[in-house]
Structures are given as structure tokens and as C-alpha cells.
Amino acid sequence: MIFKPFMREGFMPLPVAFISSISQEGIRNIAPYSCIMPVLRPLDLICLASARKRDTLVNIRENREFVVNMVGADFSDKVIPTAKFSPPEADEFELAGLDEKPSETIRAPGIAGSYAWMECELYREYEEPDYILLMGKVLRLEVADEALSPEGDLDIRKTQPLMMTGSKKGMNFCTVADIGQFEPFGAMFPDGKDPMSEKYKK
């Protein structure tokens, strides 16, 4: 079956991250963003694609900071309350019944109950008429202890990261499953060694 090109996200499950930010006046804002990606390994950059009419965009441009909150499937009922239009003067933590987790390096707070928090500063933006790519530099990455396996990796069974696929009618929320296959990074290289391995030892 052939689909229209703009249907691409229906066939690539996307994370549902919650972006928290504050306005110049200190009003707290939350918005779910799925068009989000880390920029290569092992850089500390993360890229968000934002539409123009977003309080999130205004706040990030004003204060140059934001938190990427990674949440589990238990946050699925917070997606619509935070995605619905609300005026810039509305406190979206209150609106969605969410508590804040104070940040260490920036003023914008994170969201309590997330399993990971990336405190970011705006590094660069790329502006086009219909969208803006916001490049954030992760200043601090915290992961809840209970979200980690004994080896220190993300325990996806416990956290059930919230994800979604788009369809013609809307969004199907889902999570990920471990298929029980592991490969070291080195497996991609002819000598079997990961050239970036030193970076992960620090």
C-alpha cells in the first residue's frame, strides 16, 4: 500500500517527551513533543522540531533553557491536558495536576514522576517558514534510580517509555519491548573496537 509522504511518522514509533519551560514572567509550561532526537553518539545535543505557535518555543527563545522529561506509559493521561491549547498565562503544571522537580542547572523545573530529566540550554536554532529546529545542549542528565537495571541501563520493563505512532485519525500510544538481543558498539567496526569507548568510561 502506498501512503502520502506526510504519513511518515505513522510508520516510525516516536517517543513522547514532555518539554517543560518557563516564560519570562516565570509561568510554568509543559508540552508533549515527539519530533525529538539526540544528535549522533556521543554528542550532548538534542534536537526538537517545533511549530511556530508554541509557548514552548517562545519560552525557549526568551530564556534559552528547557527540560526534556522522559516519562512512562503512566503519563498517557497527561498528554492531552498538556497538548490542548492553553493561554500563555496558564500554569500547565497546575492544569495537568503535575508536580515540579526542581532543576539543578537551569530555572525551568522538571516534572516529578518522569524517569529521566535532561536539563538543556538552547545551543542553536534553525528557522524555516513552517518550523523551527531547536538544538539543545544537555547540561545535566538525571535518571531515577528505580528506572535503572542493576547494570545501570534503562530498565524498559519497569519504565515502559511512552511512545506513539500516528495514524490517519490520531495517535496510538504504545511502549517498547526488549527482544533479547544485545550487540556491543564495537560490532560495527572492522577491528571490533568502539572508537568512542573511552568516552563512556569517564
Ligand X SMILES: Cc1cc2nc3c(=O)[nH]c(=O)nc-3n(C[C@H](O)[C@H](O)[C@H](O)COP(=O)(O)O)c2cc1C
Smallest gap, in angstroms, from Cβ of residue 23 to ligand X?
10
**C-alpha span between 188 and 169 (Å, rounded):** 39
Binding mask 116-155 for ligand X (x = CB under 6 A): ----------------------------------------
- Comparison of 83 and 135: residue with beta carbon closer to ligand X: 83
Binding mask 1-20 for ligand X (x = CB under 6 A): ---------------x----
- Comparison of 23 and 141: residue with beta carbon closer to ligand X: 23
DSSP, collapsed to helix, strand or coil, labels residue 201 as helix
Instruction: Identify which range of 2-10, 49-57, 102-110, 189-197 contacts ligand X by CB under 6 A.
Output: 49-57
Smallest gap, in angstroms, from Cβ of residue 74 to ligand X?
15
* Grid cell for residue 69: 522529561
Q: Which residue has the cell 528506572?
A: 147
DSSP, collapsed to helix, strand or coil, labels residue 80 as helix
Chosen residue from 15, 32, 109, 110 binding ligand X by CB under 6 A: 32
Q: What is the DSSP letter of 65?
A: E
Cβ atoms within 10 Å of 175's Cβ, excluding its own: 17
* Grid cell for residue 49: 522540531
DSSP, collapsed to helix, strand or coil, labels residue 68 as strand
- Comparison of 133 and 148: residue with beta carbon closer to ligand X: 133
Q: Does 56 bind ligand X (CB under 6 A)?
A: yes
Nearest-5° Cα angle at 194, 161 to 118: 35
Q: Does 79 bind ligand X (CB under 6 A)?
A: yes
* Grid cell for residue 160: 515502559
Q: Which residues bind ligand X (CB under 6 A)?
A: 16, 29, 31-35, 49-51, 54-56, 79, 83, 85, 164, 171
